[in-house]
Amino acid sequence: MASKPSLLVAAIDFGTTYSGWAFSFKHEYDTDPTRIIAKQWFGGPLVSMKAPTTVLIKPDGRTFDSFGYDAESKYSELASDDNNEHKRWYYFRRFKMMLHGKLGLDRNIDLEDETQKSLPAKTVFSLTIRYLKEDMLKNSKDKLSSGHLIEDEITWVLTVPAIWTDAAKQFMREAAIEAGIRTENLRIALEPETASIFCRLLPVEKMVEGGGITSLKPGSIYMVLDAGVIDLNASSIGGTIDITVHEVLSDGKLKELQKASGGAWGGTQVDEAYKQFLISLVGNPVFQRFQLEKKEDYLDMFRDFEVKKRDIVPDNDNKVTIRLPSSLREIFEDESGEDLRTAILQTRYANEMSFTGDKLRINASVIKRLFSNAIESTVSHVKELMKERTVHGLSSILMVGGFSESKMLQHAIRSNFPNVKVIIPHEAGLVVLKGAVVFGHVPSSVAQRVCKYTYGVGTTLPFDNENHDITKRIECEDGPRCDDIFDKYVEIGQTIALNEATKEKMYVPTTENQSSVGFSIYASTQKSPKYVTDNGCMKLGYVLINILDKSVPRDQRSFLFSMTFGGTEIEVAAKEKRTGNATKATVDFLG
């Protein structure tokens, strides 16, 4: 981490569906912490504070071409040529979700683009982060009188979902380093936490409804519902629901009460519902051909729908008008030999829509149904959380994230939880990004967190015939030992303070000629597993510790090992017991 206050803090919100950057200078933060600059992105009729998480890479597989709306438009132009030039390029959309839920993530994993060509995932992520980094630097330097910033004057913050694994966090850190960000200048921030941090700075007038959380007194408990953008124009998972529960401490800092939970429900369900709706109108072969051959029309149609879907509200039954491109009609008639208008009015939606010219006028109820599964999953999960003992006394729900701007989701939360105050900030989709900037200035805003798992290391103990499984017995230089012992450091549900290290534990090399000691880190859903092979145990990574002094006998080369879990990433430390000297200890979650 940066050793002195940075001149500038820059945050990159690498979202599932949309991404963006924001920054603030130290002197601006000191005057007004909410004064944060974020880029506006333009895509045809759309103006947004984030751009689609879409990247176009040149045919060599190494050279970045464009990002966001520019990448979408460029690829559509390439695809419009008859020479199939676009098939040589690499086009990736909404690829962040490949990291979700992967405990055994490999740093060398490949990522498939839209035409099933593969590149190393690390390449795609790092090229994207590098673009966002350089785009931010260009804009921030324009606001400096000197026009010059050096690396040590910048703290970078990269946001990740709180429900992500340690391996996924390390993958993002390594991708950022490959993109040119120094590891000591980089902080990983958890998305619901940064949203909570930013909203605690906002006055009441900056909220859509529910007042502000600045008024919540010490001891107040509130839920952060971070609902990622749900992109109806998609063919894969998109949009996460990430939920944490915070308590306000006496000093105004935050204490996590309930370990982060949630899932990637929304995107899959909403996307599939919309896709099936279109397919029910024109048929799957037509839909697939239109998507592949007429990418520009396809893109324009969905951008138009992106604007319209924002107006969908529970108590408004106005029809939604969708323009169907002439190319879609032509492909349909070429494939089927039928008139598209006649065919559509023969579907099961015949009584819920009308066809005028090249436009479909659809009953609002049809579009509302597309949201139902995503909303029901979210409401159901919140109801389950409400049953937890740690959540008793909850007074408010803070809704943030792009999907929280949906009137449909807002209505569902209010109606299902009438006794809880619902707080919604203006520009709910930006508070994670802006909160990440604040986190970069004050990383100690969250004082305590809850362990998601029981964490420990795999080790050995002298074999005990009465207590140990005979199948675990191994022969060593100092006699028989029991292998696969789960040596617990912290327990699932345990509250850990920020930067609080665990109690040191002593280990001894098992052979005389060892120059290093290695063991694995495990996580478990059980409170007290005995062996690392027990049900619910998962190998997370590997720790390698150097032995500095090899001149003394093995039994004098013991070392003390501890781990720190209170931050957003797991840290390890080791020192020689005999000398007290620190020795290098590295942990790899991507082995």
- Give residue-wise pLDDT tens across range 470-497: 999 999 877 899 999 999 999 999 999 9
Q: For the ranges 189-203, 220-234, 378-392, which has the lowest average pLDDT?
A: 220-234
CATH number assigned to the domain covering 451-588: 2.60.34
Distance, in Å, from the CA atom of 581 to the CA atom of 574, rounded to the nearest integer, reads: 9
How much is the pLDDT for 273?
74
Which DSSP state fits 100? T
**461 pLDDT more than 90:** yes
Is residue 435 over pLDDT 90? Answer: yes
Question: Measured between alpha carbons, how far is 260 from 493 in angstroms, rounded to an integer?
Answer: 11
Residues 417 and 271 sit within 8 Å (Cβ to Cβ):
no
More confident residue, 287 or 270: 287
Pairwise pLDDT comparison (4 vs 574), residue with the higher score: 574
The identity of residue 410, as a single letter, is Q
User: To the nearest whole number, what is the mean pLDDT of the chain?
Assistant: 86
What CA–CA distance (Å, rounded) separates 243 from 450?
A: 13
Per-residue pLDDT at 457 exceeds 50: yes
What is the arithmetic mean of pLDDT over 502-530? 88
pLDDT band at 360 (very low <50, low <70, confident <90, very high): confident
The predicted structure's pLDDT at residue 126: 97
DSSP secondary-structure letter at 543? E
Average pLDDT over residues 277-298: 89
pLDDT at 438 over 60: yes
What's the pLDDT tens digit per position in 51-103?
A: 989 999 999 999 999 999 999 989 988 888 777 888 899 999 888 877 765 55
Q: What's the CA gap between 212 and 108, in Å, rounded?
A: 45
pLDDT attached to residue 308: 73
pLDDT > 70? residue 541:
yes
The pLDDT > 70 percentage for the chain reads 90
pLDDT surpasses 80 at 311: no
Adjacent-strand bridge partners of 160: 190
Answer yes or no: are the C-beta atoms of 266 and 403 closer than 8 Å.
yes
**pLDDT computed for residue 495 by the predictor:** 92
pLDDT in the model for residue 222: 92
Please report the pLDDT score of residue 29 as a whole number.
92
- The whole-model pTM stands at 0.83
Find the mean pLDDT for residues 310-335: 87
Mean pLDDT, range 509-536, rounded to an integer: 90
- pLDDT given for residue 173 in this prediction: 95
Q: So what's the pLDDT on residue 265?
A: 56
pLDDT tops 60 at residue 561: yes
- Number of other residues whose CB lies within 10 A of the CB of residue 84: 10
Instruction: Note the pLDDT of residue 100.
Output: 67
- Nearest in space to 563 (alpha carbons), one of 456, 459, 484, 478: 456
Q: What pLDDT was estimated at residue 292?
A: 84
Q: Give me the count of residues in the chain.
A: 591
Q: Quick one: pLDDT band at residue 382, thresholds 50, 70, 90? A: very high
Using the Cα atoms of residue 203, residue 204, residue 206 and residue 207 in order, give the sign of their dihedral: positive
* Residue 46 confidence (pLDDT): 63
Mean per-residue pLDDT, 342-365: 87
Residue-wise burial string across 448-471, b where 16 or more C-beta atoms lie within 10 A, e elsewhere: bbbbbbbbbbbbbeebeeeebeee
pLDDT given at position 335: 93
* 235 C-beta neighbours (distance < 10 Å), count: 12
The confidence score (pLDDT) of residue 233 equals 40
pLDDT at residue 1 tops 50 = no
Residues 542, 528: Cα–Cα separation, whole Å:
21
Mean of pLDDT values over 283-312? 82
Q: Which of 264-268, 275-279, 418-422 has the lowest mean pLDDT?
A: 264-268
Q: Say what the pLDDT of residue 52 is.
A: 87
Q: Is the pLDDT reported for residue 323 higher than 90?
A: no
d(CA 58, CA 66): 9
Mean pLDDT of 177-191: 94
Res 253: pLDDT: 87
Predicted confidence band of residue 44 (pLDDT cuts 50, 70, 90): low
